[in-house]
């Protein structure tokens, strides 16, 4: 794997991003809703984000797991 910014191969892989805004250490997450127009009971689906970080330039590359990416692909097809 190479950095998308500087082409370095010095990459720290699978770094966790922590959400500390809720007074607990949870992974930073993406959310999609089954019913986004609902006021209540939107049907939240959340996916943890992970990062790869270039240790030479500091560029951060965010990603979700392959399973979560497949879920999003299927989810988008269902919503279209």
CB contact at 8 A, 26 and 15: no
Confidence (pLDDT) at 23:
60
Confidence (pLDDT) at 80:
64
What phi and psi values does residue 24 have, to the nearest 5 degrees? -155, 155
Q: Where are the domains of the chain?
A: 11-79
Confidence (pLDDT) at 72:
86
Question: Rounded CA gap, 49 and 64, in Å?
Answer: 5
Question: Rounded CA gap, 54 and 72, in Å?
Answer: 26
Does residue 78 register a pLDDT over 80? no
Q: Is the pTM of this model over 0.75?
A: no
Q: Is the dihedral of CA 66, 69, 75, 80 positive or negative?
A: negative
4-61 confidence digits (pLDDT tens): 999 999 999 999 988 777 666 688 888 888 888 888 888 888 889 999 999 999 999 9
């Amino acid at each position: 794997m190479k950095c998308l910014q500087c082409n370095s191969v010095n990459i720290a892989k699978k770094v966790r991003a922590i959400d500390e805004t809720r007074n607990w250490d949870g992974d930073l997450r993406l959310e999609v809703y089954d019913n986004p127009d609902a006021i209540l009971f939107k049907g939240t689906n959340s996916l943890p984000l992970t990062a790869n970080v270039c240790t030479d330039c500091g560029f951060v590359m965010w990603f979700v797991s392959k399973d979560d990416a497949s879920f999003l692909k299927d989810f988008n097809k269902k919503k279209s």
